[in-house]
Chains A and B, each alone.
Chain A
Amino acid sequence: DVKVTQSSRYLVKRTGEKVFLECVQDMDHENMFWYRQDPGLGLRLIYFSYDVKMKEKGDIPEGYSVSREKKERFSLILESASTNQTSMYLCASSSQGAKGYTFGSGTRLTVV
């Protein structure tokens, strides 16, 4: 079964910490995405990448950065975590063209 794997299901971090969320896909997909999901706001795109070392800002990139050194891995970085970054983070990947995305199970991050 093809998969998008997120390294942690639940994570608790302190305000000001640097946080790394890791995502790995085994489908040789070109595109990878990071979303966050909050009640009442739905899924919002943070960053995406269409190739190794390439990245594009999504709708809410402030406070985040990303890294894609290898095709299969896309990391989301919170440089200095804040309480308003408490959220469910979802990684997804897709091939070029019209095909569907495959999502990971999500990482629920709590910043205290």
Chain B
Amino acid sequence: DAKTTQPNSMESNEEEPVHLPCNHSTISGTDYIHWYRQLPSQGPEYVIHGLTSNVNNRMASLAIAEDRKSSTLILHRATLRDAAVYYCILRNRERSYGKLTFGQGTILTVHP
């Protein structure tokens, strides 16, 4: 399975935008880029996913590099409730029924 690399931690101030990077240089053409986040004492929560084009939803935006070797999750205005571990994961739609392999993720701290 193709791997992803994320910074261990990042910090932000409340109401500022946050850009969470992810490198996936060995991504294959059938890998979707998924982002999840995990708040303290909860299960992971799906945030967004994409294949080639940038994606937006009510939670966040996903910017995907043209060569697909990296992506960035964008939180447009961070709140204290966005403090969580953020996971960037590749999901292959053709193998193993789409199982996800989680890395260590990025711990996001949001300061008031």
Which residues of A pack against B, CB within 8 Å? 4, 31, 33, 35, 42-45, 48, 50, 56, 58-59, 90, 92, 94, 96-106
Contacts and interface: CB of A to CB of B under 8 A. Distances in A.
A90 B42 CA distance: 9
B43 A92 contact: yes
Residues of B contacting A: mostly: loop
Interface of B: 32, 34, 36, 41-47, 49, 51, 91, 93, 96-105
Residue among A31, A50, A59, A100 facing the most chain B CB atoms (10 A cut-off): A100
Residue among B34, B49, B102, B104 facing the most chain A CB atoms (10 A cut-off): B102
A100 B93 contact: no
Contacts of B103: 42
Residue among B41, B51, B100 facing the most chain A CB atoms (10 A cut-off): B100
Residues of A contacting B: mostly: strand
Contacts of B42: 105-106
Contacts of A50: 97
Given A43-B44, A106-B43, A100 B97 contact: no
Contacts of B45: 103
Residue among B44, B45, B49, B96 facing the most chain A CB atoms (10 A cut-off): B44
A98 B102 contact: no
Contact of A98 (B47, B93, B99, B105): B93
Contacts of A98: 32, 49, 51, 91, 93, 98
A42 B99 contact: no
B97 A101 contact: no
B49 A56 contact: no
B99 A48 contact: yes
